[in-house]
Amino acid sequence: MSLRELEHDKAVGLQLLRLLERGTLVHAFLFAGSDAARRKDLGLAFAKAVLCAGEGPDACGACLSCRKFEDGNHEDLIVLARAKDRAFITVDQIEELQERLRFAPYGLHYAVLIEDAQYMNPQAQNKLLKLLEEPPEGVVFALLAESADALLPTVVSRCSCYWLEETDAKARPEILNMARELARLIFEGAPFYKKRGALAPVLDAKEEGRAMGLELLGALEEILLRESLKLAPGSPDLVLVKRAEEAAKDARLALRQNHNTGYTLKQFCLRI
């Protein structure tokens, strides 16, 4: 599975693709969410893309690296997990990881996945922190955890953090069409009243308005992320898209925190 083929968490996958395409990967990532299977799918798709020897940002599925990955025998993929007979990921496991990373990867990178990172005991986390503070060259870490709160703040601070949505249903056709129309208006630089008009069904809704708003903003963010992958770095259109992305993220956060739906969406329209 590649990042583009993810069944869930498509928006996060697209953000990671953009980093890969721009060549702006950092050395450590945290993917946090309650669904362990989704965390693992995302982590593996990301690791496969990092290790791919093809020309594009995503895993090509055809190169030797991708074939090894799919066969489960890639030398540069390291998966660290809690042993079946242990309650925690231990210091010994982190020390073994440190020792392995002393050797250069076979390719350009090591991809290190730490499954259920919330089970690292404090001693293991502090040992890992030293690796995150002074990472070996060519190593990309991905910590998969239920919540950032389960990890030491110092560990979290060394990671680029991505949160998996608790609900990941596809947008309904009518919501998706509304998101597409809003995206078109954003690209056209339409005035406030037109963008607000595109949101009329959500603004007019009563009890369902908040849920519709969250669904709409999620669909819009995915559309914007897809468009951003087509744009040249530093272009005016990319600046516009990134501003709209940030506004959509902030609006979704406000709705999750039970801010007034109408006010939040109107402020969103003013920002874009």
Give the model confidence (pLDDT) of 30-70 as tens digits: 999 888 999 999 999 999 999 999 988 999 999 999 999 99
- Which residues lie closer than 8 Å to 139 by C-beta, 6 or more apart? 27, 101, 105, 109, 110, 112, 131
At 227-262, the pLDDT tens digits run 877 777 778 888 888 889 889 989 988 888 889 999
DSSP E strand boundaries for 68-201 = 77-80, 110-114, 139-145, 160-163
Radius of gyration of the chain from Cα atoms? 20
- Give residue 189's region: left, alpha or beta (phi > 0; psi -120 to 50): left
Count of other CB atoms within 10 angstroms of residue 61: 15
List the structure tokens of 218. Answer: 């999620």
- Which residues lie closer than 8 Å to 39 by C-beta, 6 or more apart? 31, 32, 33, 115, 144, 145, 164
217 has a pLDDT exceeding 50: yes
Which whole number is the average pLDDT over 151-165?
90
pTM of the model: 0.70
Q: How far apart are CA 237 and CA 227, in angstroms?
A: 10
Return the pLDDT at 170.
Answer: 64
156 has a pLDDT exceeding 90: yes
Return the half-sphere exposure (C-beta side, CA atoms, 13 A cut-off) of residue 263. Answer: 5
List the structure tokens of 230. Answer: 């087509």
Per-residue pLDDT band for 168 (boundaries 50, 70, 90) equals very low
- Which residues lie closer than 8 Å to 250 by C-beta, 6 or more apart? 268, 271
At 87-136, the pLDDT tens digits run 899 999 999 999 999 999 999 999 999 999 999 999 999 999 999 999 88
Q: How far apart are CA 229 and CA 14, in angstroms?
A: 8
